[in-house]
């Protein structure tokens, strides 16, 4: 049973709140975990190409703003 709870928590489906027990996560679909994975992949790619963190962030900001065509 403990292993099942650990796996559910690792998948972002439940949250353990100490004395508050275990509850279904508000982010039960794992979106935050997938976004963090994608962000880590992007960060690794940006750094491997020599981009400074601020330069990499400019690309993300440009991608989030449809009015921008270039970072």
Is 38 domain-assigned? yes
Is 49 domain-assigned? yes
The count of domains in the chain is 1
Is 24 domain-assigned? no
Is 22 domain-assigned? no
Give the domain range for residue 45: 31-64
What is the percent of the chain where pLDDT is above 70?
93
Is 14 domain-assigned? no
Is 45 domain-assigned? yes
Tell me what pLDDT residue 69 has. Answer: 77
pLDDT band with cut points at 50, 70 and 90 for residue 67: confident
pLDDT at 61 over 70: yes
Is 11 domain-assigned? no
Would you tell me the crossing angle of helices 31-48 and 53-64 to the nearest 10 degrees? 130
Is 15 domain-assigned? no
Helix %, strand %, coil % for the chain, to 5?
60, 10, 30
The residue that leads in pLDDT, 42 or 3, is 42
């Amino acid at each position: 049973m403990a292993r099942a709870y650990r796996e559910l928590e690792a998948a972002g489906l439940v949250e353990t709140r100490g004395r508050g027990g275990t509850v279904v996560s508000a982010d039960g679909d794992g979106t935050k975990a997938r976004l963090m994975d994608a962000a880590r992949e992007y960060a690794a790619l940006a750094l491997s190409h020599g981009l400074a963190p601020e330069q990499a962030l400019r690309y993300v900001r440009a991608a989030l703003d449809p009015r921008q065509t270039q970072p």
